[in-house]
Amino acid sequence: MKRIRFSFVVVTAVAIAAGVSHVQAQGGTTSAASQLRRTLEDSERSAFGQVKLKETPTKQTFDTVLSKLAQESFRVYITTNLNSGFNTNDFVFSVAPLDRKSIKGGKWQRKLTGSGQSPDAVLSYFADLSGLGGRQVVIARPGPDILVSLTNVFNCVTNIPFGSTTTNVVCITNIIVGVPLFDPAVTGTVSAVMWAPIPDFLPKPGVANFKQTATLLLPGGVPPSPAAKGQIRLSFNNAKGQSVLEVRATSLTRGQVYSLWLGDSATPSVLVKAGDMIMKQDGSQARFVRDTKFGDPLPQQVPFLENLSGRPIAILDEFESPHLVGTMP
């Protein structure tokens, strides 16, 4: 599995729990779900999984399930920042280690349960799981070893001869290098491999489902593929937390390599490459798809498709000439 290491500062409940607002359950059953995505945007499909959260008047569950996740030592975290995409500089709450169910299938799970409140592993941060809405669940491996050098200096003698500016220091020094015992006041780092945005809790999550389409158009001037046609398809299944972005193009000039570009989040007029397109029919047909069901991240690691709405979109060749253009619905 391809992955990239991102550093998170781990913040303990002792340091910040007092500043977290708790959202109390309203007496009915509400739930939220999301699918885990890779933190490396252009990586090949490998690991995938889902986070399911549910509140009832008597029980609250936090269930994380993954498949095809290789190696060892993974843990569940929750970001402290609200309503943002994946950010390597987020502070995170430590929740619990994942339990590996199958080495061959790379299957992991951790199901946490609380009676009338958040599970104990989350309770220090949020009284109810609905407080996680707008945050992100992160699956991470251990960061680099944190070695601390302790220096004990003693028997130092300073001799300053009369009329001299020279200082002679005589010391005996013991240097101890090791890993410190756990201290709630000490922070560390972890390396994120997958993440999932948590939508707001709803009594019926399916009411937020949607499907949208938009047509791509030829660019102005002399288009390099005058017969080209294209379409954008978006779908969101809130009950599963599944987002799908698909772009198809036909009648492109054959023999070229095409890629999809989208407006940047900070400066929409600046296009950022989302990825190469899959080509068929000698390159006259091209397809780009991101489906979180398979662990695919959305372009620029946005949490939801709606975060791409209104941004310009273009299919470019390797000479960066636009063949089709449009606007994200």
Which residue in the block uniquely carries the two structure tokens 């660019």? 219
Which residue in the block uniquely carries the two structure tokens 């990239």? 4
What would the two tokens of residue 25 be? Answer: 């359950």
202-250 tens-digit pLDDT: 999 999 999 999 999 999 999 999 999 999 999 999 999 999 999 999 9
* C-alpha–C-alpha distance, residues 124 and 141, integer Å: 22
pTM of the model: 0.80
- The secondary structure element, H or E, covering residue 323 is strand 322-327
Higher pLDDT, 82 or 48: 48
DSSP state of 326: E
Which residue in the block uniquely carries the two structure tokens 């017969």? 227
95-122 tens-digit pLDDT: 999 999 999 999 999 999 999 999 999 9
CATH 2.60.40 in the chain: give the residue spans: 7-144+183-203, 206-327
* C-alpha–C-alpha distance, residues 142 and 292, integer Å: 25
Indicate the average pLDDT of the chain.
Answer: 84
Higher pLDDT, 2 or 292: 292
What would the two tokens of residue 273 be? Answer: 């490459």
What is each CA distance from 319 to 108, 272, 274, 279, 322, in whole angstroms?
A: 44, 15, 16, 17, 9
Q: What is the pLDDT of residue 130?
A: 95
What would be the CATH architecture of the domain defined by 7-144+183-203? Sandwich (2.60)
Angle 243-100-136 from CA coordinates, rounded to 5°: 35
pLDDT range class, residue 14, cuts 50, 70, 90: very low
What would be the CATH architecture of the domain defined by 206-327? Sandwich (2.60)
Q: What is the arithmetic mean of pLDDT over 48-52?
A: 98
132-189 tens-digit pLDDT: 999 999 999 987 654 545 455 544 555 544 444 445 555 555 555 555 544 544 457 8
